[in-house]
Amino acid sequence: MTESAEHPFLLPHGYRDAEGTLHREGRMRMSTAFDEIAPLKDPRVQSNPAYLLIILLSRVITHLGTLEFINPKVMEGLPSGDLLYLQDVYRRLNETGHTRLRVACPHCEQQFEVETSPVGES
């Protein structure tokens, strides 16, 4: 029922690591009940519920550029525009099973889907 296990995305800004390398292309998998429940026990989420987003994203993002590990520290280092973008990708992926947007042509009113992650462009 799901189209594929992981979905590509392209961060609007990107994560710059300690060596100055920019990482923008990534992949996100669909989340599970365990992904949502496990972070609730984390003391960082208990003291600041907004931290749930950081933990959740670090669990479901499987690749980001050439980074070997994705962890909450990486998510903390993302520009807020990227966090907002990833929040939107997460919501669409888990609500619809894909990250495409359903839009309508303003002239002919025909509906179609557009890809929001132009992976490969820079």
| Positions in the binding site for other proteins (CB under 8 A) | 1-2, 30-34, 36-37, 40, 52-53, 56, 87, 90-91, 94, 97
Pick the closer one to other proteins by CB: 3 or 113.
3
Q: Is 59 exposed, middle or buried (0-12, 13-18, 19+ CB in 10 A)?
A: buried
Residue 1 C-beta: closest distance to other proteins, Å: 6
Residue 68 C-beta: closest distance to other proteins, Å: 24
Residue 119 C-beta: closest distance to other proteins, Å: 21
Buried residues in 2-21 as b, exposed as e (16+ CB within 10 A)? eeeeebbbbbeebbeeeeee
Pick the closer one to other proteins by CB: 21 or 113.
113
Pick the closer one to other proteins by CB: 15 or 51.
51
Residue 73 C-beta: closest distance to other proteins, Å: 20
The residue type at 38: A
Q: Which of 30, 36, 93 is nearest to 62 (CA)?
A: 30
**Alpha-carbon dihedral angle through residues 17, 22, 25, 30, given to the nearest 10 degrees:** 30
Pick the closer one to other proteins by CB: 63 or 94.
94
